[in-house]
Amino acid sequence: MEILLTTRDLGRAIGASDSSLRRWTDSGAFRSTRTVGGHRRITLSEAIRFIRETGASVVEPAALGLKDVPAADMPPDQRDAIQEQLHQALSEGDAAKARGQILALYVGGMSVAAIGDGPVSFAMERIGVRWQHDPAGIIVEHRATDICLQAISLLRQMLPTPADDAPLAIGGAFQDDPYIIPSAIAAAVMVESGWREANFGPNTPVELLAAAARERGAALVWLSVSTEVAPARRREIKRLATQISQLQIQFVVGGRLAPSLAIPRASGVHVLQKMVELSALARGAMPGARAKTGH
Ligand code: B12
């Protein structure tokens, strides 16, 4: 269920007058529905879209139900500061602050893909070196991972629900790979790009993915590879690439160690480095994917 707001909630959130709201409503600047009693309601995702597109400042985030978001709009030069603050909040295990910063980046206009490639990956990379000189760094790392997942899940709530007939992407990380954040972001990026998704998460048996894609009518399969790949697993992943390609489904491999697989080039097989690349592919691949699923 999407969160529904009144026009007054939106007005309070961005500090807009009743007359501005009436003007926007009359001109169709945002989509709204009506309750049985005739009252106007706006979905949270539609309100966020409107705020992002108009560059409005969120002066009262609580009116949108976003208690954690700092009340400020964000000029681009502030992003660096937020990136640094995010690293600090994750290091300190301050979940509310970190969630708020990630949400502020999104409400400020950054895409989920860019947030994943930028601030999240940057902060986690820095957190990742701590364990080398401080055993307690491992605890910090685990906590930061959980907080990132909380934030990604919040971002998901803010994305419009994909249409029932939108193409489907499925994926996860391969069997020996425990990394949970990359596929959580990949799934959110697919939704942001208008797709439906089924994320199987870390440690997914690769040999099950082709059948899962076929049975569910997926148009794209992603695989995240962030840990060393043993030779037997390498063979499994290459076999999967061939099977998926034969099914004429897009196969996307990404992650820090994806290039080490040396997957042979084939039609519909992509080795990507970044979430923004996945997003670009998902948007570009859309018409083909729709044609394939018959819509
Ligand atoms: C969190 C973490 C862990 C957690 C994972 C928890 C969990 N369930 O997810 C735990 C504690 C389990 C862990 C364990 C280990 N870890 Co660790 N870990 C990390 C850390 C800090 C963050 C990883 C992360 O989630 N990053 C956030 C994501 C968003 O960023 P990303 O992975 O870079 O992904 C980006 C791209 O690669 C790409 N991408 C990723 N997947 C996909 C998929 C697609 C389709 C696309 C298009 C793009 C894409 O997009 C993302 C955004 O740009 C990294 C540090 C780092 N530099 O990454 C170390 C790190 C990866 N770990 C490291 C090590 C050494 C280990 C251990 C060996 C430690 C140990 N001694 O036990 C084990 C090995 C585990 C294993 N089986 O492989 C090293 C690896 C060094 C190396 N030589 O490769 C790192 C780099 C830390 C360091 N600097 O030493 N780790």
Model confidence band, residue 181 (pLDDT cutoffs 50, 70, 90): very high
178 half-sphere exposure, CB direction, 13 A CA radius = 2
pLDDT at 143 over 90: yes
Separation in Å, CA 94 to CA 5, 59, 74, 88, 184: 28, 23, 21, 9, 20
pLDDT at 117 over 50: yes
pLDDT tens digits, 237-272: 999 999 999 999 999 999 999 999 988 888 899 999
Specify the pTM: 0.89
Separation in Å, CA 273 to CA 70, 94, 270: 31, 29, 10
pLDDT confidence of residue 75: 60
pLDDT at 290 over 70: no
For residues 128 and 141, the answer to whether their CB atoms sit within 8 Å is yes
Record the tokens describing residue 57, joined without a space.
């400042």
Q: Which atom of ligand 1 is nearest to the CA of 272?
A: 47
Task: Using the mean position of ligand 1's atoms as its centre, give its distance from the Cα of residue 169 in Å.
Answer: 23
Pairwise CA distance, residues 225 & 229, whole Å = 8
The three-class DSSP label of residue 67 is coil
Kindly state if the Cβ of 119 falls inside 6 Å of ligand 1.
no
Model confidence band, residue 88 (pLDDT cutoffs 50, 70, 90): very high
Kindly state if the Cβ of 147 falls inside 6 Å of ligand 1.
no
pLDDT confidence of residue 192: 94
pLDDT at 73 over 70: no
